[in-house]
Amino acid sequence: MAAGQVLVGMAEIKVIKGTGQLTCLGLGSCIGLLAYDAESGVCGMAHIMLPEAFKDKPVDKPGKFADTGVPALLAEIEKAGGNIRRLTWVFTGGAQVFKYGAGTASKLDVGARNGEAVNAHLKKLGARILAQDIGGTSGRTMVANIETGEVRVRTVQGGEKTLCQLKRVRAEAA
């Protein structure tokens, strides 16, 4: 990846400030969760795998779970100089990519549960959700460009589209 382009791998949390772009590659059942503070230009992204941490196991990577990932993302943003009371949120993913076959109505349905869990945690925070694109049967790649404020989502079958514009929020809020 070129300089300034940060890939957020499974279970990771990455934060950038002012410039560059954050990418969650190939989100299937996982969720890419983005939080942006327009004033400081701090933007964080978490690549969440599962709805909640296991009760009987230590959490090695808080970004892996929705319940530990949301507070961990807030902490990272604060550490980078962002104000967590000013955040706008975007999230995508939570698909069931196994479209064909008898087992597709999986009892586990990790994607849907991830989407619900992230939604519930954001609601608890009273978070301002600018955009979300979840569910369905297509994997998504989410790219947030901090310079332009553009958040784009790409799928194999549907091509690429702009999901939302982070900077417009700043103009409206001002």
Partner 1 sequence: MAGQTYEFDLMQMSAIREMANIGLGHATTALANVTGKSFNMDIPNVETVCLEEVPMMMGDPSDVCVGISMPIEGDVEGYTAFLFPWKSAQELWGMLLGYSPESPEDVDDLPASAMLEVGNILSASFMNALSDMTGLKIHATPPMVSIDLAYTIAASIVAEAELSDAVALAIETRLFGMENQQTTGYFLCVPTLEGLNKLFAALGIQGAA
Q: How far apart are CA 111 and CA 109, in angstroms?
A: 6
9-17, 36-44, 67-75, 163-171 -> range binding partner 1 (CB under 8 A): 9-17
Binding residue for partner 1 (CB under 8 A) from 6, 17, 28, 40? Answer: 28
CB of 41 to partner 1, least distance (A): 28
| Residue 56 CB neighbours (<10 A) | 5
Contacts of 134 (CB under 8 A, 6+ apart): 31, 91, 92, 93, 94, 95, 111, 115
CB nearer to partner 1: pick between 17 and 98: 98
CB nearer to partner 1: pick between 55 and 124: 55
Q: How far apart are CA 9 and CA 25, in angstroms?
A: 7
Helices 66-79 and 110-125 sit at what angle, rounded to 10 degrees? Answer: 50
34-42, 84-92, 93-101, 122-130 -> range binding partner 1 (CB under 8 A): 93-101
* Residues noted as catalytic: 30
DSSP code at position 127: -
> Does 110 sit near partner 1 (CB under 8 A)?
yes
- Contact code string over 120-139 relative to partner 1, x by CB under 8 A: ------------------xx
CB of 166 to partner 1, least distance (A): 24
Q: How far apart are CA 6 and CA 24, in angstroms?
A: 9
Pick the closest to residue 13 from 36, 41, 34 (CA basis).
Answer: 34
Binding site for partner 1 (CB under 8 A): 9-11, 25-30, 49-50, 54, 57-58, 60-61, 64, 95, 97-104, 106, 108, 110-111, 138-139, 141, 156-157
